[in-house]
Amino acid sequence: MTFPKSVRLVEVGPRDGLQNEPNPIDTATKLELIDRLGAAGIAYIEAASFVSPKWVPQMADHREVMTGLTRRQGVTYAALSPNLKGLEAALECGVEEVAVFGAASEAFSQKNINCSVAESLERFIPVLERAQQAGVRVRGYVSCVLGCPYEGEIAPAKVAEVSKALYEMGCYEVSLGDTIGTGTPLAAKRMIEAVSRDIPMDKLAAHFHDTYGQALANLYAVLEEGISVVDSSVAGLGGCPYAKGASGNVASEDVVYLLNGLGIETGIDLEALADTGTWITQTIGRPNRSKVGVALAAK
C-alpha cells in the first residue's frame, strides 16, 4: 500500500455539478458557490464551461462567471474549452487554465462533442498550441473510462491510447472520467495500471461519478495505486447531459472525510465545505448527496 501523503482536490461542482440543472441558476449563485469553495480551502475550482449554449444552456453565462469571480490567492479557476472558439472566449475572460475533453468511446464522443475520437484529438492540437502561446495550462479529460452509456464495456487499452494522445500533445494532467459511475474497484485498478504504463502516476487524476454508489470504493482502490489528484463535486451535485441517468460526481465532503481518516492532507476545511454543500443544495432545491454533509448538518 503506497497512499500519497497529500491529495489535491479538483472541485468540479460549479461546472460538472451544475451543467445538467434544467432550471437556470443565477450567475450570482454560481459566483457565491465558487467563492465559498475557495474560502473552504479548495485550491482548484472548475468554474465554467465555454461550450455551445445550444448544447449546454446552463453554462451560457460562462463569460459573466469567469469575469465576475473574486480571485483568491493560491486558487486556480479553470474552465472547459472544447475548441478554439471556446478557448479564445476563455482567454478573453482571463482564465488561468482550461480543459479539453475527449472520450474512450466513439459513440459518446459523437453525442457529447459531435465528432469522432480521432477528430476530437485533431481539434485539440490547435487548442493546446494556442493555450501554450498564451501561457495557459491545459488539462485533458477522458470520458467513459469504466464504461459507456452507448457502447457498454470499454477496454483499458482504449483508455490508455486516448490518454497517451492527450498527454503527448501537451496536456499536463489527464483526468480519467467514470462518466456513468458503473466502475468497481478492481476494474478501476486495472484501468489505472494500463494508463500509467504510458503516463506517470502523478500526471493522472480520478474523476468518478457515483451513479452506482461505487465512487469512494473506486477512489480508495486508485489511491492505493498512487493517484493523488481527485475530482469531486460539493454535495455530489451533477451529471452529464449526454449520459442519461448518470448522477453526480463523488461528493467532495465524502472524499475529504475519507482522506482525513487515512491521514492524507488536503488543506480543506471540512466544516466550511459541508456548509457550502448544505447552502447550495437548499438554494437550488436539490437533495444533498454527500452522506458526510448530511451527517454534519444533522449534528
Give the footprint of ligand HMG on this chain (CB under 6 A).
Answer: 16, 19, 49-52, 55-56, 82-83, 85-86, 101, 112-114, 141, 143, 177, 179, 207, 209, 240-242
Instruction: Specify the residue, 147 or 275, whose C-beta has the smaller distance to ligand HMG.
Output: 147
Is 115 assigned a catalytic role? no
Shortest Cβ distance from residue 237 to Mg ion (Å)? 11
Q: Which does 50 bind (CB under 5 to 8 A by kind): ligand HMG, Mg ion, none?
A: ligand HMG
Q: Which does 52 bind (CB under 5 to 8 A by kind): Mg ion, ligand HMG, none?
A: ligand HMG
Q: Phi first, then psi: what are they for 288, rounded to 5°? A: -80, 115
- List the catalytic residue out of 93, 144, 171, 240: 240
Shortest Cβ distance from residue 127 to Mg ion (Å)? 19
Shortest Cβ distance from residue 10 to Mg ion (Å)? 11
d(CA 48, CA 151): 28
Instruction: Specify the residue, 78 or 280, whose C-beta has the smaller distance to ligand HMG.
Output: 78
Q: Which does 288 bind (CB under 5 to 8 A by kind): ligand HMG, Mg ion, none?
A: none
3-state helix, strand, coil in the chain (%, to 5): 45, 15, 35
Distances (CA, A) of 172 to 84, 175, 235, 254: 18, 10, 28, 27
* Cell numbers representing residue 76 in the block: 486556480
Instruction: Specify the residue, 37 or 91, whose C-beta has the smaller distance to Mg ion.
Output: 37
Q: Phi first, then psi: what are they for 295, rounded to 5°? A: -65, -45
* Cβ neighbours of 35 (radius 10 Å): 17
* Cell numbers representing residue 193 in the block: 495500471
Instruction: Specify the residue, 16 or 97, whose C-beta has the smaller distance to Mg ion.
Output: 16
Sign of the dihedral defined by the CA atoms of residues 225, 229, 234, 238, in that order:
negative
Q: Which does 211 bind (CB under 5 to 8 A by kind): Mg ion, ligand HMG, none?
A: none
Which residues, at least 6 apart from 12, have a Cβ–Cβ distance to it below 8 Å? 46, 207, 231, 232, 233, 238, 249
Shortest Cβ distance from residue 55 to ligand HMG (Å)? 4
Shortest Cβ distance from residue 100 to Mg ion (Å)? 14
Give, as ranges, the residues between 2 and 61 that touch Mg ion (CB under 5 A): 16
Kindly list the catalytic residues.
Answer: 240
